Amino acid sequence: MNTSSNSQAWKNLFQHHEDNVDLSLIKRFNANPERGNQLSFSCGDLWIDVSKQSIDAQTTELLFQLAREQGVNDFFHSMSKGDVVNLSEEEAALHTSLRNPLPPEMVKKNLGQMKELHEKLKNGHLVGSSGKKICSVVNLGIGGSQLGSFMAFEALKDYGNPELEVRWSSGLDIADLDDALIGLDPEQTIVVVCSKTFNTFETLSTARRTQNWFLEGGVSNFSSQMFAATSVPENALAFGIEAENIFSFSSSIGGRFSLASPVSLGLMLSIGYENFDDMLQGMHLIDTDVLANDKSVPLLLGLIDVWNRSVLGANSLAVVPYSYRLREFSSYLQQLMMESLGKSISSTGESIEIETGMAVWGANGTDAQHSFFQALHQGTETMPIDLIGFARLSDKANDELIANLIAQAQTLAFGQDLTKDADSFSEYEILPGNRPSTVILAPELSPNILGQLIALYEHRTVATGVVWGINPFDQWGVEYGKKSALRIVDELKNSEVSSSHDSSTKSLIARYKHWRND
């Protein structure tokens, strides 16, 4: 794996850009009327059009040459076999095993346990310590133990059990948990604590507060109503979770890649085991495609991210789903992509010479158009965008939303045609065009297709990391920041403040203490 931009494949890409720097999207389409068909691809049930990216057939071939040089497809196969691919932590990356039709024994056991719990809930046999039927679930987690499963819960609400109330809480803000618990009966509620290590400070603090909530609600034997999803079951046992309520998974499954794991227990209880399994099948469909095709669509999308960031210099990627249900998708992708790719050191410990990582952001379709699309169309910075749409939402045709999606992609690419009536336009109305976008269309937002979308972006992220020479499975910056916070917590609660702090940190600690004690 070569992390230097001096390799031949990188040199070819930079030279190719230099040779085509003045070739706009309008010129590219005018030169090739079939461009839209030639640069559109199917991947499972997804239709993906990259023709409005600043690429052509030669670009894609050079990018695939780079992928071969960096061993991306070999990495995919090693990852799927369970080889060590997370070098800094000497771990495998086993997330694809979670959705394999022939899963490892631990995964098979978990799925059976999850199915059994769902059946008990559905049949009214899941009861609290007082004998009352469970009718609400509160999911506690943060980061990878929350963002993916919550996104999928919101996306699949049309498939949810209307008789089950499912709430979500993350972080330390007291109002967050208060909102999740308000109006619920402690005797009819179960709490699912999701933490890979089961020592995540934010999650365990919130879990302790739910224990107090149970006690205040008259539930003294709350242990039977608390469940855990973790890779360290002994920590959950020590916390007071009963053994039969612990769903364990491998430590080789990273948080942001754990959506198919027991971390999604709350999601599964909402949409049902059959729909959850259908989502896993959608993920596996893309897993299979990546392994079978050395020029797969997820790899191509990852390579386009490399092209936009490292060659064209784009600093961000906007992701805009034209679906209210999928409005949390960009938040989920922020962690998946930015925590995986926001690194300047290679997986072998070398400084990386090329630009890596992009800010990932976005919002729900037409809301976004009335928010930040102005900057996309006329701002000084070119920001690539993914536009995601569905032919049917809630079993209804979706003409207006899809019309907006297609129109935005068209206008971003081509701007306004001033040649038709140039005198009627002021300089303020000029849209320059040549703004790159990828359009992803699907028939509907079903569990299976959501699974395909998730796996598409997972593999895209891994591919991008491998090309850049980055380990997409560690997050040392996050880990250090959390340790620093724990040290400062002690200082906020006590009178002693470390003399090693800078003047700003000392001032902030003093100001907080003044207002807290005022």
Residue 80 lies in a domain: no
Do 202 and 250 lie in a common domain?
A: yes
pTM for the predicted model, two decimal places: 0.95
Could you report the per-residue pLDDT of 270-306, keeping only the tens digit for each?
Answer: 999 999 999 999 999 999 999 999 999 999 999 999 9
Do 206 and 352 lie in a common domain?
A: no
One-letter amino acid of 46: L
- Catalytic pick among 34, 90, 370, 396: 370
What is the spatial distance between Cα 138 and Cα 159, in angstroms, rounded to a whole number?
18
Residue 288 lies in a domain: no
Could you report the per-residue pLDDT of 342-377, keeping only the tens digit for each?
Answer: 999 999 999 999 999 999 999 999 999 999 999 999
Do 129 and 150 lie in a common domain?
A: yes
pLDDT-derived band at 134, boundaries 50, 70, 90:
very high
| Domain count within the chain | 3
DSSP 146: T
Residue 88 lies in a domain: no
Q: Which residues contact 449 (CB under 8 A, 6 or more apart)?
A: 44, 45, 46, 282, 390, 442, 443
Do 130 and 245 lie in a common domain?
A: yes
Could you report the per-residue pLDDT of 144-198, keeping only the tens digit for each?
Answer: 999 999 999 999 999 999 999 999 999 889 999 999 999 999 999 999 999 999 9
Residue 440: its H or E element: strand 437-444
What is the spatial distance between Cα 404 and Cα 384, in angstroms, rounded to a whole number?
17
Domain boundary among 278, 310, 337: 278
CB atoms within 10 A of CB 34: 9
Q: What is the CA radius of gyration of the chain?
A: 25
CA distances, 399 to each of 243, 390, 407 (Å): 51, 10, 12
Kindly report the average pLDDT of the chain as a whole number. Answer: 94
What is the spatial distance between Cα 366 and Cα 388, in angstroms, rounded to a whole number?
12
pLDDT at 424: 66
Residue 320: its H or E element: strand 316-321
**What residue numbers bound the domain in which 246 lies?**
95-278
Do 165 and 253 lie in a common domain?
A: yes
Do 325 and 409 lie in a common domain?
A: yes
Residue 20 lies in a domain: yes
CB atoms within 10 A of CB 57: 11
Residue 104 lies in a domain: yes
Residue 184 lies in a domain: yes
CB atoms within 10 A of CB 14: 14
Could you report the per-residue pLDDT of 41-79, keeping only the tens digit for each?
Answer: 999 999 999 999 999 999 999 999 999 999 999 999 999
Do 262 and 340 lie in a common domain?
A: no
pLDDT-derived band at 13, boundaries 50, 70, 90:
very high
Do 409 and 455 lie in a common domain?
A: yes
Cα of 70 vs its chain's centroid, Å: 24
One-letter amino acid of 371: S
In this structure, what CATH number is given to the domain that contains residue 237?
3.40.50.10490
Q: Is 482 considered catalytic here?
A: yes
Q: Is 294 helix (H, G, I), strand (E, B) or coil?
A: coil
What is the spatial distance between Cα 269 and Cα 161, in angstroms, rounded to a whole number?
8
Domain boundary among 468, 484, 501: 468
Helical axes 57-70 vs 72-81, angle rounded to 10°: 50
Q: Comparing C-alpha atoms, which of 31, 33, 27, 25 is closest to residue 53?
A: 25
* Residue found by looking up tokens 């080789």 in the block: 252
How does DSSP assign 171-237, residue by residue? SS-HHHHHHHHTT--GGGEEEEEE-SSS--HHHHHHHHHHHHHHHHTT-S-GGGGEEEEES-HHHHH
DSSP 311: I
pLDDT-derived band at 517, boundaries 50, 70, 90:
confident
Do 453 and 482 lie in a common domain?
A: no
What is the spatial distance between Cα 383 and Cα 317, in angstroms, rounded to a whole number?
6
Q: Is 458 considered catalytic here?
A: no
Q: Which two tokens stand for residue 304?
A: 């386009």
- Catalytic pick among 154, 187, 339, 458: 339
Residue 287 lies in a domain: no
Residue 505 lies in a domain: yes
Do 412 and 504 lie in a common domain?
A: no
Do 349 and 448 lie in a common domain?
A: yes
Q: Comparing C-alpha atoms, which of 74, 93, 96, 73 is closest to residue 84?
A: 93
- Catalytic pick among 27, 77, 109, 482: 482
What is the spatial distance between Cα 150 and Cα 329, in angstroms, rounded to a whole number?
10
Do 312 and 448 lie in a common domain?
A: yes
The per-type count for the chain, helices as H runs and strands as E runs, is 21, 12
